Amino acid sequence: MIDFAIARRRMVEQQIIARGVDDQRVIDAMMQVPRHLFVESGLQSHAYSDASLPIGEKQTISQPYMVAAMSAALDLQGHERILEIGTGSGYQSAVLSLLVKRVYSIERISVLAGRARKVLDQLCMSNINIKVGDGTIGWRDQAPFDGILVAAGAPDIPTKYLQQLDVGGKLVLPVGDRSQQILMRVTRLGDDKFKREQLMDCRFVPLIGEQGWLTDED
């Protein structure tokens, strides 16, 4: 029997803190969320390894370090309303739910959204709204957001995200081709003023939709 609490502590020390994530609230959240509940039972023994893992439907749960680094890049204080694109397993949503006031998460594949909802309900994480649909157009009714986190790779920055970001808010997303991307952070400094930063290389599944890739095939 694996002791998941020990595996999780080791993950946080070796993959998160050792690689430079120093936001204590993010570290605490990564220590708290039971990642093994977000993968299928056959993969639970790998849940705390330094990798993304398949979750079905050709999608993946992001690597722990990437979840921590993206969360830290949003500079969260606790009062925020955040838009997340690509609910997937719901793991990133769970981490964010401990860091902000409310998470609005969009997933295009309804079976994944349903599974994520179930696990998040079991964990009593009640500050997460999940909707099924094309997240490349954002969530207009709930905008503006204090932060936007995109967990799938976009060919370009969808303009709706810039429009739906509040002044002072940050958008973190992978931009590039289908096989590799650069993690970018865009900070809205004013109505028409945005600061763009390149954070690191990364590999995500494609963001598919009106303002992303048109299909999930090459």
**Size of the residue set binding ligand SAH (CB under 6 A):** 25
Q: What CA–CA distance (Å, rounded) separates 37 from 10? A: 17
Taking CB under 6 A as the binding criterion, the range among 17-25, 89-97, 140-148, 159-167 that sits at the site for ligand SAH is: 89-97
Residue that is written with structure tokens 């973190």 in the block: 172
Q: Could you say which of 16, 30, 98, 112 contacts ligand SAH (CB under 6 A)?
A: 112
Residue 55 has a CB neighbour count (10 Å cut-off) of 21
Of positions 15, 62, 164, 181, contacts ligand SAH by CB under 6 A: 62
CA separation, residue 142 to residues 63, 83, 86, 87, 139 (Å) = 28, 9, 17, 17, 6
Which one of the spans 12-20, 72-80, 88-96, 169-177 is the region binding ligand SAH (CB under 6 A)? 88-96
Q: Which of 41, 45, 52, 62 is catalytic?
A: 62
Q: Is 70 in the site for ligand SAH (CB under 6 A)?
A: no
45 given a catalytic annotation: no
Per rule CB under 6 A, is residue 109 in the interface with ligand SAH? yes
Residue 177 to residues 118, 162, 198, 200, Cα–Cα distance (Å) = 33, 20, 15, 15
Supply the minimum distance, in Å, between the C-beta of residue 30 and ligand SAH. 12
